[in-house]
Amino acid sequence: MFPIVHVGSGKEMTMGESENEKVIVKWNKSVHVFGERLMRFPSLGWKVIWNVGYEDPRRVIHAFKVGLSLTLASLLYLLEPIYNEMGQSAIWAVMTVVVVLEFTAGATLCKGLNRGLGTLIAGLLAFMVGYIANASSGRISQAVIIGAAIFFIGALATYMRFIPYIKKNYDYGLVIFLMTFNLIALSSYRVENVLKIAHDRLFTIAVGCAICLIMSLLMFPNWSGEDLHNSTAFKLEGLAKSIEACVNVYFYGETDSPEDSNSSEDPIYKGYKNVLDSKSIDEMLALHASWEPRHSRYCHKFPCQQYVKVGAVLRQFSYTVVALHGCLRSEIQTPRSVRAMFKDPCIRVAAEVSKVLIELSTSIRNRRHCSPEILSDHLHEALQDLNNAIKSQPRLFLGSKHKHNHANNMLKLAAAQLGQHGKASGFSLSSVKTDSSALLEWKTKRDSLIQSKENERKSLRPQLSKIAITSLEFSEALPFAAFASLLVETVAKLDLVIEEIEELGRLSCFKEFRAGDEIVVTCEEPLVDVTRNNLPSHGIE
């Protein structure tokens, strides 16, 4: 008999122990990381809470207003005398406060009046349908009348929601009307005293809307019109900052490549981002502002639609700024030696454009008309200097005949190389043998040749484009020509911006410009971002 030897048992134990140790170490590390994150969570949470209130202190006030409104509405349910009178319907006041009370007074008025009007009309109509149904002889006819009324009124109200004017101003009221009418009409079939149900619900919703209106209009009100007014001034400042930063980076800093650029952290992008994203925000603020009363000192009418027009013109202006920013990230860049020849006039033009935009922002912020000399002679002089500088260097933009012939020769050489590659990679079917081994060999060879042909073609395509571009003399000045033309385009579009803002000042009754008014050019980043203060409404109840 042969002795039994347990070969490798000690080694297996060692391996098992090492694996257990690895699992324990990994578990301890995970526990340690989780503990560190748990320890940092209070500080991180407090930092986020502090930053939200620091960015706009009105958010803290609004939070206290909502809490106080909910407490007042809850008294209808908590106080025994009121609850004994209202019953379960008292809870509708709390639900109304949750849904109706918005950040601005205009949004609260819009939703509150829509909700109250929709509930009132639905209650009256449901009572009429219930009265007609109860006048019928049997339960079957009563059910048919209620069902037919629900069908026709539901279909009609839903169809009316597609009308643009109604969808824009009264869509929420129609939704509340549909829901309230169905609830009361169906309740009338099972409950005898349906009038009390309609009365209680209407009363509690009216109480909830009244609490919301009082809190929004009388206690530290936030006006949608003011937010729209301030956001317009901020957008002008952002565009001014973007234009000046574009020119400074183009002549003094390093231009960005498309691979290394991060648009979310780019200060130039941040300047015009709010303008590009402002269409829906402007329309919403203008809609809510149209519901607000005249709260200014002079009780002037707030021109909501004119602010929307100004926003549209600013978006058209910002498209040029976006293209100007794109020149910084172009694959083809003008050498610094060429750019330096046009640096001074370009910087002067950008500075004058920024000065005009800042003056427009200041006029809106201070509610006064623009200076009559807003388009000063300095801007025209800067444009003339840029024009003279470009005319003084015609060879940079026109090229020469010798360089043109050299470009054609380079292109012909590249085409000849492409033809040679195509011939070298070709194959003939007549040379293929008929046996299976030769057929397999031919397939392998064919696949390798096709693959090599594709690789050569892919590598040759960028070579052709680079040869064609670098061999042209005017390619050095071509990117700058695009940059300069876009810079001049910003000057051309200033007239449209000034015209709309002057119309805004006329409709808003801005005060006249006086010679003693100082023009202070500042481009500070505002702390208040009005686009983040519109809380979404989740549901209708």
pLDDT score for 417: 46
Q: How confident is the model at residue 16 (pLDDT cuts 50, 70, 90)?
A: low
- pLDDT at residue 151 is higher than 80: yes
Q: With contact defined as beta carbons under 8 Å apart, do 344 and 385 qualify? A: yes
Q: How confident is the model at residue 312 (pLDDT cuts 50, 70, 90)?
A: very high
- pLDDT at residue 27 is higher than 50: yes
Q: With contact defined as beta carbons under 8 Å apart, do 223 and 229 qualify? A: no
- pLDDT at residue 330 is higher than 60: yes
- Rounded to an integer, the average pLDDT of 490-504 is 91
pLDDT score for 407: 42
Name, in order, each residue with C-beta under 8 angstroms of 376's C-beta and a sequence gap of 6 or more.
352
- Rounded to an integer, the average pLDDT of 103-123 is 90
- pLDDT at residue 102 is higher than 80: yes
pLDDT score for 6: 47
Average per-residue pLDDT in the chain?
77
The gap between the terminal CA atoms of the chain, to the nearest Å, is 88
pLDDT score for 163: 93
Name, in order, each residue with C-beta under 8 angstroms of 219's C-beta and a sequence gap of 6 or more.
65
- pLDDT at residue 418 is higher than 60: no
Helix (H) or strand (E) holding 114: helix 105-134
Q: How confident is the model at residue 422 (pLDDT cuts 50, 70, 90)?
A: very low
The dihedral through the CA atoms of 533, 536, 540, 541 has a sign that is negative
- Rounded to an integer, the average pLDDT of 69-87 is 87
pLDDT, greater one: 257 or 165: 165
- pLDDT at residue 392 is higher than 50: yes
* pLDDT tens readout for residues 165-222: 999 889 999 999 999 899 888 888 777 777 777 788 888 888 999 999 999 999 999 9
pLDDT score for 447: 65
Task: Tell me the percentage of the chain whose pLDDT exceeds 90.
Answer: 28
- pLDDT at residue 421 is higher than 50: no
Q: Which residue do the tokens 């172009």 mark?
A: 330
Q: What is the DSSP string of 117-151?
A: HHHHHHHHHHHHHHHHHHTSSSHHHHHHHHHHHHH
pLDDT score for 149: 92
pLDDT score for 82: 83
- pLDDT at residue 280 is higher than 80: yes
In this structure, the dihedral spanned by the alpha carbons of residues 52, 57, 63 and 69, taken in order and rounded to 10 degrees, is -170
Q: How confident is the model at residue 530 (pLDDT cuts 50, 70, 90)?
A: low
* Amino acid at site 59: R
Q: What are residue 307's phi and psi, to 5 degrees?
A: -65, -35
* pLDDT tens readout for residues 445-494: 666 666 665 555 544 445 545 555 455 445 567 888 888 889 999 999 99
pLDDT, greater one: 15 or 97: 97
Both tokens of residue 372?
A: 């009559």
Residue 290 in 3-state DSSP?
Answer: helix
Q: What is the pTM of this model?
A: 0.73
Which of 159-163, 249-253, 426-430 shows the lowest mean pLDDT across its residues? Answer: 426-430
- pLDDT at residue 39 is higher than 90: no
Q: How confident is the model at residue 310 (pLDDT cuts 50, 70, 90)?
A: very high
Q: What is the DSSP string of 227-248?
A: HHHHHHHHHHHHHHHHHHHHHH
Q: String of b and e for 526-538 (b: at least 16 CB within 10 Å)?
A: eebebbebbeeee
Instruction: Report the phi/psi class of residue 535: left, alpha or beta, with left for phi > 0 and alpha for psi in -120 to 50.
Output: beta
Which of 25-34, 74-83, 330-339 shows the lowest mean pLDDT across its residues? Answer: 25-34
- pLDDT at residue 72 is higher than 60: yes
